[in-house]
Structure 1
Amino acid sequence: MLHLRLITPAEKTDEVVRLIETTVGTAHLVVLPAAARNPVGDVVMCDVAREAGDELIGGLRRLGLDETGSIAVEDIDLTLSRRADKAEEEAPGEAADAVLWEGLADATHEESTLSITYVAFITLATMIAACGVVLDNAILIVGAMAVGPEFGPLAGFSTALVQRRPRLALRSLTALLVGFAVAMTATVGFTYFMDGVGLFTKIQLEAGRPNTNFIYRPDAFSFVVAVLAGIAGMLSLTSAKSGALVGVAISVTTIPAAANAAVAFTYTEYRQASGSTIQLLLNLVGIVLAATLTLLAQKYFWKRQRQAA
């Protein structure tokens, strides 16, 4: 279930309470008159089944509560209540299939914002992957995949397409392009440094590299895996099963491809650089396409499920 804490102007409290009481799947309604100080107003709290959460939040926004008061939502890990059990039974659909669109937009907004931390993570991940490709070390490649934060902007871009939010789409695209540009440029400098101290050599890059040569040899499976990862990643976000994102991160070769392209460009190994770039683009396009179609499918089937209930 979800817990909602609302701050509402006194003149709107009755409307808010009425909306909560008429929404199927709500429980544990509490009203604290004049309890809020900033902004001034009443505090209203309630629990709502996840499958009814989007409808209730949408109704609260239509009342203007996000402008005149506050809407705070958090997941409840454990609720021991017969009334809560009844609310979940009454709510149409299944909690695991419900998509909280406002929550998804908020989560992807945070993950797709160009920040120093985001740039630092994607740069460090690319440098780790550079070590992996030169040393032909699969463990370093996996580690770099896990560190890379690029799925956030990809998910944000897909969400923006489905919700038709051009500002979020531009923000996500900017974070993605600038992040990779900075990371690859920094990795070129990192490669020159490592070569200067004798830790990287062109001979290592041009060797057979049985563990990592797939990075600059894209094929049909590259796109297939990216599509599957995009579906799994978006499902993990919409169902709040964030643990699956780790598996998504280490199943696609975006960061390793960017790293291999940067290192290969440094050593004028343009065949590897072009192959790695194609690998990177295949993964990015596959993830965005799959994530967008997944959201559209979830939106369609959830609407059908609600209509049938």
Structure 2
Amino acid sequence: MRLVQLTVPTGKRETVLGALEDRGIDYVVTDEESRREYTAVVYFPLPSPAVEPVLDELQEAGIDEDAYTVVVDAETVVSRRFEALREEYENGDVETDRISRQELQAEAESLTPTFSVYTVMTVISAVVATAGLLLDSPAVVVGSMVIAPLIGPALGASVGSVIDDEELFTESVFYQIVGVAVAIAAAAVFAWLVRMTNVVPPGLDITAVGEISERLAPDLLSLAIALGAGIAGIISIATGTSVALVGVMIAAALIPPAAAAGIAIAWGQPTAAIGSTALVLVNVLSVNLAGLLTLWYVGYRPENLFSLGETEQRVRRRIVGLAAIVFVFALFLGGITYASYVSATFEENAREEVELVLSEEEFAQYQLLEFEVVMDDEYPFVSPEQVVVTIGGPPDEAPPALADTLRERINQHSDDQVAVEVRYVNVIEGNGEASRDG
């Protein structure tokens, strides 16, 4: 429910009040004496879905932006006429749950801080995310998402496109470009300082850190996160619900990958930064694409109906353009996903081959102790480089046929030759217990 406070220009009092009477809207009028161009201030309650059509009708009656209009939340309205309005406008579909176009525009603008605050908060969130990734701490990474100020620009571009506010669209796009660049740069500088001052162990292999490696070789599931974040973000502000948690989700799609890219750059591994940088870009584009589609679906249109055709064409062009770019990035992520699938399949098949070989009667006295597949560093399309098999057996000389057999059987499952290292560990059993002597 909303309470609308509207200033009535001179000569428009009867027109405005007549429009409210025609719609069956309760109102209260007070005379205005502070300025000569306004004769009264009218107050009236409305169901949320009625705000936009009523304000549009009043604007057609002569209430322009020079006269101020205030729309605030109303907790309770007791009125039979109001209940009739509610039954008229609230019919349970998606469009009746959304806020008015005017409120949406104000909400989108309020979510974007000033440029200096936006830049500082982006730097802080990127630094915190970088620390969290290097510490391999999911909790710290989540904390970086909470403070990231990305939701406003991420959704503002979609809002500006749909309601024909090019100033909001341009500002939001600019903020997004700056935000991505600043986040990666801040992460790179901070990671370089950490590395040079030996805050982290010298020689740290960033590809061995779980929180980092998963973002250096992203897959198609990351695209689903970004699309979901964009849809959830738009629905949150369009229905007037809290956007705090959705802001965290959008930040989850942008800040950690940007920090991972900065870390890879600081470690002198630009190829490793390709996957995470691509992930940041595709997530930004996906959030905007999902926002555009969702806003148009729930019924938001420009204020001026004469510009509807032009705006619709512009929105369509932007949707097609974004979809095309996202599709290209999706192919790239699909390639990474396929490479990961091939590697996982190879690892599973290689382990099965080792177990089958050791189950043969000839090698029955040997047992598999450890199995490891070492991946190369050709990010983002990593592939198996070496297989390390640790085998336990009696303290006798290991049969050379075992190593040869394992190498042959394992490489049957790979198009490229994979190095196979077989390590033997003497297992001495006594008093019902086994001990290793390697």
TM-score (norm 2): 0.62
| Displacement of 1:47 | 0.6
Counterpart in 1 of 2:55? 57
| Displacement of 1:14 | 1.7
Q: Which deviations, in whole Å up to 9, do the C-alpha atoms of 1:130-175 show, x marking residues without a partner?
A: 1111111111111112221212112111112222332221111011
2-side partners of 1:112 and 1:140: how far apart? 24
Question: Aligned pair in 2 of structure 1 residues 195, 212: CA closer, same or farther (>3 Å)?
Answer: closer
8 Å CA contact 2:8, 2:42 repeated in 1? yes
Q: Which deviations, in whole Å up to 9, do the C-alpha atoms of 1:170-217 show, x marking residues without a partner?
A: 111011111222333233332333334432456445252224432222
Counterpart in 1 of 2:381? none
Counterpart in 2 of 1:107? 107
Counterpart in 2 of 1:246? 245
Indicate the SS of the match to 2:199: coil
8 Å CA contact 2:225, 2:253 repeated in 1? no
Question: Aligned pair in 2 of structure 1 residues 30, 174: CA closer, same or farther (>3 Å)?
Answer: same
Question: Aligned pair in 2 of structure 1 residues 198, 55: CA closer, same or farther (>3 Å)?
Answer: same
Listed as ranges, the gaps of 5+ residues in structure 1 are 301-309
2-side partners of 1:227 and 1:240: how far apart? 20
Question: Aligned pair in 2 of structure 1 residues 216, 282: CA closer, same or farther (>3 Å)?
Answer: same
Indicate the SS of the match to 1:68: coil
1-side partners of 2:272 and 2:75: how far apart? 48
Q: Report the AA paired with residue 174 of structure 1.
A: F
Indicate the SS of the match to 2:275: helix
2-side partners of 1:179 and 1:220: how far apart? 23
2-side partners of 1:205 and 1:233: how far apart? 36
Question: Aligned pair in 2 of structure 1 residues 44, 281: CA closer, same or farther (>3 Å)?
Answer: same
Q: Report the AA paired with residue 117 of structure 2.
A: T
| Displacement of 1:278 | 0.9
Q: Which deviations, in whole Å up to 9, do the C-alpha atoms of 1:27-65 show, x marking residues without a partner?
A: 3x0100125449754111111111111101222333443
Alignment pair present for 1:167 and 2:170: no
Alignment pair present for 1:86 and 2:84: yes
Counterpart in 2 of 1:219? 219
2-side partners of 1:220 and 1:255: how far apart? 18
Alignment pair present for 1:21 and 2:2: no
Counterpart in 1 of 2:41? 43
Question: Aligned pair in 2 of structure 1 residues 207, 184: CA closer, same or farther (>3 Å)?
Answer: closer
Counterpart in 2 of 1:209? 209
8 Å CA contact 1:133, 1:205 repeated in 2? no
| Displacement of 1:288 | 1.1
Counterpart in 2 of 1:305? none
Identity of aligned residues (%): 26
Alignment pair present for 1:178 and 2:195: no
- Higher relative CO (Cα under 8 Å, sequence separation at least 6) belongs to 1
8 Å CA contact 1:260, 1:272 repeated in 2? no
2-side partners of 1:169 and 1:53: how far apart? 24
2-side partners of 1:107 and 1:127: how far apart? 28
Counterpart in 2 of 1:119? 119
Q: Which deviations, in whole Å up to 9, do the C-alpha atoms of 1:246-266 show, x marking residues without a partner?
A: 145236320111111112212
1-side partners of 2:242 and 2:2: how far apart? 17
8 Å CA contact 1:185, 1:262 repeated in 2? yes
Question: Aligned pair in 2 of structure 1 residues 162, 68: CA closer, same or farther (>3 Å)?
Answer: closer
Q: Report the AA paired with residue 53 of structure 1.
A: V
8 Å CA contact 1:8, 1:70 repeated in 2? no
TM-score (norm 1): 0.86
Q: Kindly report which structure 2 residues correspond to 1:64-79, keeping only aligned pairs within 5 A, or say none.
A: 64-79=62-77
Q: Which deviations, in whole Å up to 9, do the C-alpha atoms of 1:94-134 show, x marking residues without a partner?
A: 47533411111222123346521122222211111111111
Between structure 1 and structure 2, the one with the greater Rg is 2
Counterpart in 2 of 1:4? 4
Query: Root-mean-square deviation (CA), in Å?
Result: 2.5
8 Å CA contact 1:133, 1:141 repeated in 2? yes
Q: Which moved more, 1:95-104 or 1:125-134?
A: 95-104
Q: Report the AA paired with residue 246 of structure 1.
A: L
Say how many residue pairs are matched.
298
Q: Report the AA paired with residue 8 of structure 1.
A: V
